Structure 1
Amino acid sequence: MSSSKFSSVEDYLSSLDSEKGNTLRNVIDVILKKFPELDCKLAWNVPQICKDSDYIFGVSALKRHLALAPWSAKVMDDFKTRLENEGYVVKKHLFQIPSDWEVDEKLLKDLVIARLAELS
């Protein structure tokens, strides 16, 4: 992945190899389809799912994996056991998925619902 400054989410996704770009595009599409009130924008040079000025979910590509972040240490803590039991590497603010991840729509929905509940 390049250290370039990107001008849009599509610019970011297009800079990735096709596998990583397609996986992150699918993650974003699933979230936006299930939550049409949310929007995706570029912030800190990576795609972020937002509701108004609140960050809900971030995605990014790293050298050997992709990272998904629900913007909440509490949500990560609440989902830690589930994520670890499903084989994900879990950090304090994010979890890692393989570049060729088969999108788990239920997991994404549950994470977004938890983050939105935190904000209401």
Structure 2
Amino acid sequence: MGSVEDALAALDAPVRECLCAVVATARSARPDAVDGVSYGLPALILAGKPLLAVAATARHLALYPFSPTVIDAVAPRLDGFSRSRGTVRFTVDHPLPEELVRDIVLLRGREIEGS
């Protein structure tokens, strides 16, 4: 698979733009992350481990930080968003705030690096 943006290119414009904004925020928070695939999803990889992945389903968009600990850490800020142990669900009409995405990425990065 090519870049994460290549994987998202086939999506309809509003969905693609929303997910690309999440990826751009993640890249700005961790410019050392590289493109990859994790669990079949377009992902950013840090130190050989998945930093985050994004996906579009028929009913929602999703961010996967691959960490229940990270989800728990930001849970107070997830009011209005559906979530599970490893996923935050959102929509084009109710996107994730950039600051929240940045914090998720930074927390996951620290977790990967063991600090």
Shorter-chain TM-score tier: 0.7 to 0.9
Provide the aligned C-alpha RMSD in A.
Answer: 1.7
Aligned-residue sequence identity (percent) comes to 28
Aligned residues: 112
* SS of structure 2 residue aligned to 1:110: helix
Q: Deviations over 1:38-95 (max 9, x none)?
A: 12223333211111211111111110210001110111122222212xx111111111
Q: State which drifts further: 24-33 or 7-16.
A: 7-16
Aligned equivalents of 1:96 and 1:112: distance in 2? 16
- Say whether 1:67 aligns with 2:67: no
The structure whose Rg is larger is 1
Aligned to 2:24: 29
User: What are the ranges of 5 or more consecutive residues in structure 2 without an aligned counterpart?
Assistant: none
* TM-score (normalizing by structure 2): 0.85
Q: CA deviation at 1:33?
A: 1.9
* SS of structure 2 residue aligned to 1:55: strand
Q: Deviations over 1:5-37 (max 9, x none)?
A: xx3333421221111111111111121122211
